[in-house]
Amino acid sequence: MKYYKFRYSILLLFILAFSSVEAQAEVRLPILVSSGMVLQRNQPLKIWGWADPKEQITIEFKGENYTTMTGEDETWQLELPAMAAGGPYTMKINDIKLENILVGDVWLASGQSNMELQLRRVMDLYADEIKKINTDQIRLFRSSTRENAENEKADYPDGKWLSSTPENIMEFSAVAWFFADKIHQEQSVPVGIISTAIGGSPAEAWLSKDKVAPFLDPWLERAARIDSMRMARQKQENEEPPFNWWYEVNKNDPGVGKWSKGEVDVTGWPQISLPGYWTDKGVDFRNGSIWFYREFDVPESLAGKEAVLRLGRIIDSDSAFVNGTFVGNITYQYPPRIYDLPAGLLKAGKNTVMVRVFCQGGRGGFVEEKPYELRVGSEIIDITGDWHYHIGAELHPPRGGFGGLSFRPGGLYNSLINPMKNYNIKGVIWYQGETNAGRGFEYRQLFKDLIMDWRKQLDQPDLPFLYVQLANLGIPNKQPVESGWAETRDAQRRALELPNTGMAVAFDIGEWNDIHPLNKKEVARRLALEAEKVAYGNKDIVSSGPLYESMKIEDGSILLTFTSVGAGLYANSLLEGFQIAGSDGNFVWAKAVVMSKNSVKVWSNEVPEPTEVRYAWDDNPAGSNLKNKEGLPASPFTTEK
């Protein structure tokens, strides 16, 4: 009996050991290489993954077999020959079966929030169009990770390829979708988008370890200094607990649990006209919570129906209540407030809306020139005008905190670009720069370094890199001023010195009161024009507006010449937006006229000996109107070297 038990134990150990070997021998693929993926046409294709050393890897695709062996580092890679657009196909990698694969054009969409912004955020402009989207020919890959990683990541933690169906489409980047749709129409091939944009990210967060040192070292020094200060403070005796802003605001607000509950006696509450910033209207309140109340009438014909409450944009965050029922909240200032009201909530006659606003410092308010209304079907009930208000909790947080560290230089490259660097792509579309505004001179080299860095890391030295110049923002200045946004736009323009780059000018299609303008379709159209020229080789297309080339001083004026003029500079307008200066650097508004197909004369009687010109030099250069006959606007620029 003992003999058989012994043999059984030996057999069991053998089976377990064999099973363990089998488990270890399983092939693992990167998440990007999965069912539903779009592979890049007309380029050799890299397929890679992991397995035990010396494990044989066989890929079956389109009737051909490709074989390699896993290296000692447990990685493997196979290169498949270039293929024409088509699909859907099935790929088998050892025992793994990937289905519904398309071959077409793959674009990497990256940058910050204006590229990340989803189609759900632009429904005001494109609702009818978006609701009709339903195609399997345009697909998106996006991981949920926002990790600011210290080291390079070999793979994404999650993510999948999504088709452009009604169930998925709201997750697509608006710029990326409209761009992909245009490319699909023009090229008649499937289009894949790899979306990696992260709101608020500076350009240096996207550099690889090869380029990041000049930015990482100062960042690490600051991090060490902050950590040292924190440790020193922790050692102090009788240290007070950290200030909890949300706890303090709710503890000190007498309206919590009361003023949101339907009937509220607002007798004695002062009034304020909204929209607008309350500090501009005499309300000296900068930190804490403040409540706003308004009554509105609903006719019998609309009572009980579903509705939408629009509250424009609110700085910083808010919670909204209609007739004592919570209808929604937004936790930061930029998204539009679009709150759905269920059937039965609105009643005939008097109704109430209460909005609790949270402000953590600075200028709070309801942003002007945004919709503030209730929409019931096609009917609109305006709620602008006089509102009652009551300060809830006014806080005075302790000063002199440690401050926060911004994105780690290189951190987003490590987590979002490194995992896909073996995946062949057609090109990059990039929308970023807001976070770097104010550092325009630095951005001149930084942005060029980023483009060259990605081309090196992705092993595509001629990779088309298309980008969006910063849109307009803020109230236009009446007199010439220095502008951090204009400096950044000029730095972006100078990146066109690199080959295979293209820039979409956007200062004419933004919104003065929104850092996230809605007109993403025109942004994408201008990117697609550049794609047609830079990536698809149509050298005859006029893909951009006039670009400053050179200047010549003559007879108290400056003659500017431009490239990308197409059929010629548009001459049937009084030119605006030009500034001129002499050796003292004092800029004044200038007169300007079109002199020829590609030249403009600029002068001012106030500057008899001019040395410099700049154009559209403002955060919001409203009125600047130089363009070509194709209607594409000229890029802002300065003639300063």
Q: Give the number of other CB atoms < 10 A from CB of residue 316.
A: 17
Cβ contact 245:397 at 8 Å:
yes
pLDDT at residue 217, as a whole number:
87
| Whether residue 540 has a cis bond before it, omega within 30° of 0 | no
Name the nearest CA neighbour of 425 among 468, 454, 467: 454
pLDDT in tens, 13-22: 444 444 444 4
Task: Kindly report the backbone phi and psi dihedral angles of residue 595, in degrees, each rounded to the nearest multiple of 5, phi listed first.
Answer: -100, -30
The three-state secondary structure class of 132 is coil
pLDDT at residue 404, as a whole number:
56
C-alpha to C-alpha distance for 161 and 139, rounded to whole angstroms? 6
Contacts of 297-300 with C-beta under 8 Å, sequence gap 24+, read: 297/349, 297/350, 297/351, 297/381, 298/346, 298/347, 298/348, 298/349, 298/351, 298/376, 298/381, 299/348, 300/348
Fold of 106-217+409-534: Rossmann fold (3.40.50)
Q: Which residues pair with 559 in a beta bridge?
A: 552, 601
Sign of the C-alpha dihedral computed for residues 475, 276, 364 and 341 taken in this order: negative
Secondary element (H or E) of residue 276: strand 276-277
Q: Which CATH superfamily, name and number, covers 253-394?
A: Galactose-binding domain-like (2.60.120.260)
C-alpha to C-alpha distance for 625 and 321, rounded to whole angstroms? 44
DSSP symbol at 555: T
Distance of CA 598 to the CA centre of its chain: 34
C-alpha to C-alpha distance for 590 and 318, rounded to whole angstroms? 45
pLDDT in tens, 172-204: 999 999 999 999 999 999 999 999 999 999 999
Residues in the chain: 641
| Residue 496 buriedness (CB in 10 A; 0-12 / 13-18 / 19+) | middle
Distance of CA 168 to the CA centre of its chain: 19
In Å, what is the CA distance from 301 to each residue of 133, 307, 379? 33, 13, 10
pLDDT at residue 263, as a whole number:
84
The three-state secondary structure class of 456 is helix
- What contacts 399, CB < 8 A, 6 or more positions away? none
Counting as low any pLDDT under 70, the low residues of the chain are: 1-25, 227-240, 399-405
Give the predicted TM-score (pTM) of the model. 0.91
CA dihedral 589→591→594→596, nearest 10 degrees, is: -100
Amino acid identity of residue 430, one-letter, is: W
- What contacts 506, CB < 8 A, 6 or more positions away? 468, 469, 470, 471, 472, 517, 523, 526
pLDDT at residue 362, as a whole number:
85
Strands 385-394 and 317-322: unpaired
Would you state the structure tokens that stand for residue 160, as one six-digit string? 């999948």
C-alpha to C-alpha distance for 381 and 373, rounded to whole angstroms? 5
C-alpha to C-alpha distance for 69 and 94, rounded to whole angstroms? 12
Q: Domain segments of the chain: what residues?
A: 106-217+409-534, 253-394, 547-638
